[in-house]
Chains A and B, each alone.
Chain A
Amino acid sequence: MSTVEDVVSYIRSKNAGPFWLTIDAFCQNIADTKKVVAAFERERIFIAKSFQVKPEDLEIYCLEAIQVAKISLPRNPIEGSRNERDMHGGQQYVSLLDIVCE
């Protein structure tokens, strides 16, 4: 049993404008990329709950050409609001590391 952390070679999160967050999971090959994308799809509700957004608002992309699994989602809270913990969104990927990839 492997997790997202085991499978990816590099993962990052960043703001995509003040109202969106985007997470790029770089994989070593297409099979792993599909595995991570499938895991994100399977855990859509868990991920949405972790980020306090609606499951249908999660955009999940499988970019086979560059072997990247990508998630974009509305940012909650909005960047820089008084309850901000992570201005650039740079540590948000950590919430995904323990998701199991089958």
Chain B
Amino acid sequence: MESVKVFVPYGAVGLNCTQEAFEAGLLMKPDIISSDAGSTDSGPYYLGSGHGKYAIEDVKRDLKRMVLGADKLKIPMTVGTAGTCGSDEGVDTVYQLIVEICQEAGIHKKIAKIYSQQDRKTIKQKYHEDKVQGLHGAPVITEATFDECETIVALLGAEPYQEAFKNGADIIIGGRSTDTAVIAAYPLLKGCDPASCWHAAKTVECGGVCTSAGLQGGVFMEVDDKGFTIRAVQPQSTVSPYSVSAHLLYENANPVQLTEPGIRIDTKNAKYSALSDTAVRVEGTTIEYLPYTMKLEGAGIAGFQTVSMAGIRDRKIMNEPLQWIDEVSEAGIEKLEKAGISKESYDFWLRPYGYNGVSGMAVPEDYVPNEILMMLTVTAKTQELATQIAKAFNPLLLHYNMFAGKQMPSFAFIFSPAEMERGAIYEFKLYHTVLLDDPMELCRIVYETI
């Protein structure tokens, strides 16, 4: 059979790659250009709010290169997990940008939008049918969990993408998808070895990270009926059996197996061999078919947060920063209680950066910092309450004196006003699988011709 060649320019749409890498990728004559556009790695805000992480200008620049490049070669393109979290809003935003790009360039395309955001009712029903299972480490859920989620998405496998290709889509914009499905779908559809399609797609999902180019340059994969070849595209960059095989570890708890909707691949017998400094051949990956499940991700509001920060250099406090924190905390709680605000109605946290703010662990004996950034975060049910509480802490952060008989100190505020409102903060609430009868059950595909 003929091989299928996929050019993956970016680790995520919006992250950019060099112009020379992009042009080199096109010169290698891909059959499709694909890129993932999202992740849960930057925290629950994006999923909870439904918004994207990257600046819209950056996303448009990256999409524009893909759309124009694919048009020039007359090949299709896919984008997965549109808008960082793959919400319906993310799909619509990317669609809108692609419409603008096509109109500006005067080109016409058939576009498929695959939505994978879920309504609570559908998922609750699956829950009652006992089809929703927690992944290891996931919190225990009840029916109420679904109501607590602002956004729930199901991670698309390859099938909806294949369906959209069969219906003639030139451009496919996917909602939340597995990082690999968006890249594996086309070679799978063309009959390439399934285990190799998934393994290759996992290898390239972060773009050039599996090559020496890192985030600078994209990557190229070629799959056939026996295995796959990974090629570096950024000029002067290289790829090695080591860089290719080591990427399977990245952000992956199990470094040997990879579970995707309906399948699990096993790479323990995979053989990696260098064809040159810029090409690595992989064969021997095996696949096992499983009952079809999709992963569910859900995030909801955990409260509203206000932040305040003060820098401290006072040498006496540098000797005992944790004692200062204890005393300020106590004084703050007492002050708020007197004002009728109970301790149960808010959460606050004072973290000394420069001391143990990042680790929270004990510091080495005799460690005395030069200066510390004391960061106060207050979380409450409303933004107003969070800010009111932060303001009550304000004079303590500015002046708290823990040494009796000394004159009142003043610490170093950075901003005026000293409080910053962060808005709603979110928490991941769902990270479960849902068992399905049909891979298409939880997705909706809408076609547009422009």
Residues on A facing B (Cβ under 8 Å): 14-20, 22, 24, 26, 50, 59, 61, 63, 65-66, 68, 70, 72, 74-75, 78-88, 91, 94-95
Contacts and interface: CB of A to CB of B under 8 A. Distances in A.
- The SS class assigned to the B binding surface is loop
Contacts of B41: 14-15, 88
Contacts of A95: 359, 361
19 contacts: A16-B252, A16-B253, A17-B135, A18-B44, A19-B428, A20-B253, A22-B252, A24-B250, A50-B361, A61-B256, A74-B136, A78-B137, A78-B427, A80-B428, A82-B349, A82-B427, A85-B357, A87-B42, A95-B359
Interface stretch (B29-37, B117-125, B195-203, B241-249): B241-249
B385 interface: no
A84 B351 CA distance: 11
Given A79-B428, A80-B44, A81-B427, A20 B250 contact: no
B420 interface: no
A17 B250 contact: no
A50 B360 CA distance: 11
A82 B242 CA distance: 38
Nearest to A78: B428
Contacts of B42: 87-88
Contacts, number: 100
Contacts of B349: 82-83
B254 A18 contact: no
Interface of B: 40-45, 135-139, 242, 245-246, 249-256, 302-303, 305, 347, 349, 351, 357-361, 377, 379, 425-428, 431
A19 B302 contact: no
A15 B251 contact: yes
A22 B139 CA distance: 19
Contact of B379 (A61, A75, A82): A82
Contacts of A94: 359
Contact of B43 (A63, A72, A84): A84
B245 A78 contact: no
B358 A91 contact: yes
Contacts of B360: 85
B254 A72 contact: yes
Contacts of A86: 358
Contacts of A15: 40-41, 251
Contacts of B255: 61, 63, 68, 70
A59 B347 CA distance: 33
Given A82-B303, A86-B358, A18 B428 contact: yes
A49 B192 CA distance: 46
Nearest to B379: A82
A6 B337 CA distance: 51
Contact of A18 (B347, B359, B431): B431
B245 A66 contact: yes
B84 to A, nearest CB: 14
A48 B42 CA distance: 24
Nearest to A67: B242
A60 to B, nearest CB: 11
A16 B250 CA distance: 8
B44 A79 contact: yes
A4 B408 CA distance: 47
Given A22-B251, A82-B302, 16 more contacts: A14-B41, A14-B250, A19-B135, A19-B137, A19-B138, A20-B136, A20-B137, A24-B246, A80-B428, A81-B302, A82-B303, A82-B427, A83-B349, A85-B357, A86-B358, A88-B41
